[in-house]
């Protein structure tokens, strides 16, 4: 299993390690692909996504928006869930390569 995962590209290796479709398990655990789907973000989620895309940590985002870091954490988790992401880096990458900015209500 180690050798098989080692020979895979990054995303497939992660999916394999988590027991997704490449592992041959009965349960597919892959995150859904957001490509082509519209995802609606709330106004606050758009604000937070923009600040995450700028590379700011939760504490600094909380300070700028005058909310608690825990509230920021909840919004970030909601954004990750809506897109089927597992890391903030994916939010950064999405908005760095987007024609649509986090200011738009719908994001593809």
Task: Quick: pLDDT tens for 48-91.
Answer: 999 999 999 999 999 999 999 999 999 999 999 999 999 999 99
Helices (H), the chain: 2-6, 10-17, 43-53, 58-65, 69-83, 88-96
Identify the band that residue 94 occupies on the pLDDT scale cut at 50, 70 and 90: confident
Token couple for 69: 């870091």
Over the stretch 14-57, which tens digit does the pLDDT of each residue have?
A: 666 666 554 444 333 344 444 556 788 999 999 999 999 999 99
Beta-carbon-side half-sphere exposure of residue 4 (alpha carbons within 13 Å) = 8
**Taking phi first (over 0 means left), then psi (-120 to 50 degrees means alpha), and beta for anything else, what does residue 73 get?**
alpha
Q: Does domain 37-107 have CATH number 1.10.10.10?
A: yes
- DSSP tag of 87: S
Supply the pLDDT for residue 26.
37
Supply the pLDDT for residue 27.
37
């Amino acid at each position: 299993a180690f050798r098989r995962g080692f020979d895979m590209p990054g995303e497939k290796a992660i999916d394999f390690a988590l027991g997704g479709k490449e592992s041959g398990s009965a349960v597919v655990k892959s995150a859904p692909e957001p490509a082509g789907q519209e995802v609606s973000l709330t106004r606050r989620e758009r604000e937070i996504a923009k600040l995450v895309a700028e590379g700011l940590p939760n504490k600094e985002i909380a300070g700028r928006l005058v909310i608690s870091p825990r509230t920021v954490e909840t919004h970030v988790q909601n954004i990750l869930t809506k897109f089927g992401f597992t890391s903030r880096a994916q939010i950064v990458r999405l908005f760095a390569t987007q024609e649509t900015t986090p200011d738009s209500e719908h994001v593809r």
